[in-house]
A = this chain, B = another copy of it.
Amino acid sequence: MSQYNNVSVVKKANVYFEGKVTSRTVLFEDGSKVTLGIMLPGEYEFGTAQKEIMDIQAGELSVLLPGNDKWLEINEPAKFEVPANASFKLKVKTVTDYICSYID
């Protein structure tokens, strides 16, 4: 499925790291949401409140997941999961297009 149907979209962007990471919030009828985001090359650390599933649609990056000492290399579309109340690090090498889902 290349698009979400019957959703709401928040007009204002979410802006982080001086705009090097931005996203748009998409709300579903059942109350769940995803963000559709772009990350430009750089190094970032994020904290989670809920569990998150990151679906990398395009881009090359390395990810350090909580409790890991080895970076995960992503060079093609891939998903990874981050537990709630944790932090993870990213080294983004090329413009990265992602979908982040939030799980209760």
Contact = CB atoms under 8 A, between A and B. Distances in A.
A82 interface: no
B13 A97 contact: yes
A36 B7 contact: no
Contact of A38 (B6, B10, B22, B97): B22
B12 A97 contact: yes
Nearest to A25: B3
Q: Is the interface of A mostly helix, strand, loop or mixed?
A: strand
A68 B20 CA distance: 32
Interface in A16-75: 18-20, 22, 24, 26-27, 36, 38, 40, 57-58
Contacts of A57: 11-13
A3 B13 contact: no
Q: Which of A5, A9, A99 neighbours the largest number of chain B CB atoms within 10 Å of its CB?
A: A9
A86 interface: no
Q: Which of A6, A13, A36, A95 neighbours the largest number of chain B CB atoms within 10 Å of its CB?
A: A13
